[in-house]
A = this chain, B = another copy of it.
Amino acid sequence: MRQVTIKTIADELKLSASTVSRALNDHPDIHDDTKRLVNKLAGELGYRPNIMARNLKSRTSNQIGVIVPEIRHDFFANAISGIEEVAYQKGYTIIIAQSNEEQEREIINLNSMYLNRVSGIIVSISQSTNTESHFQKLIERGVKMVFFDRVCQTLNVPKVHIDDFESAAKVVNYLIGKNYSTIVHFAGPQSLDICRKRKLGYEEALGKPGSNLKSVVIEAGMHENDGYNSMNKLLEMGIESCAIFAVNDPVAVGAVKRMKELKIDIPGQMGIVGFSNNPITEMITPRLTTVDQHAFEMGQKAAEILIDEIEGKNLNGNQLDIKLETSLLIRESA
């Protein structure tokens, strides 16, 4: 007999499969002596319950699906870490897929998880996703779903993300307090929700009563070289002393690189703040002031909410829209 099953034990002990099953599950109907006997033999035989059979019977898998654009991105890797942490504590297993920023692959992965009968799905949507029907369809069929970071606003499921608007305003207010004469924003592509919100937050903070700072925005991409180039543009505009709020860390790093080449004093002549708290921000000189998005905690929170949904402990219906506090990490660059 290849596999040790409940039946193996039952036969050996001249019991029925049901008694063995109950004994293993510590059911009160079973005599303690029987339980001891069964457990002892189970141990000796190296019995392991067949989870597939159990899942089939219970119609659930205790698996949580996670779909992110790219696992290798620092932010997502951290978020996944957080998800795994919580899932592990609560007895769930996570299965992971990446969309590589392609909608098509997002759809395939989503459906594959649906087929696999995962207990729930945590998603951060891909950049190229321009429809929500694939999510909508599953939600209608009762699949538990939670979005994080890159959420889909129009869908009626829980979301966990940061308040980009508030966070940006927080940064700018800090810079205002530092008495910089000009506060510039190196913005990201305005097609992206988060970039738009960060810019709005910047403008909101600048426009506060009593402030006579004018808005200076240079829009570019989100990579290091974009920051480098924006820095050149800034100088062409004749601005020689200011504070810069960069849309993210790579852009800030690129700007810093150019500033160092030009021997611009940081933060004396120009201050600069990034966004995301990439590991690099702490390794460059000067250490970069930035905004920590608490990726790990975001993952944890998303997992907690999903598991609550799965286990029917959801208090607030699906209206949950959690904006996690960000932290302004004040270091040396501003």
Contacts and interface: CB of A to CB of B under 8 A. Distances in A.
A4 to B, nearest CB: 11
Given A52-B117, A117-B50, A260-B285, A95 B96 contact: yes
A263 interface: no
Q: How many copies of the chain does the oligomer comprise?
A: 2
Nearest to A87: B97
Nearest to A295: B72
A174 interface: no
A37 B85 CA distance: 47
Interface in A139-187: 141
Interface string A43-85: 0001011111101100101010000001111101110110011
Interface stretch (A17-25, A108-116, A127-135, A319-327): A108-116
Given A48-B114, A117-B50, A117-B52, A78 B84 contact: no
Contacts of A46: 141
Contact of A71 (B61, B84, B115, B141): B84
A93 interface: yes
Contacts of A192: none
Contacts of A85: 98
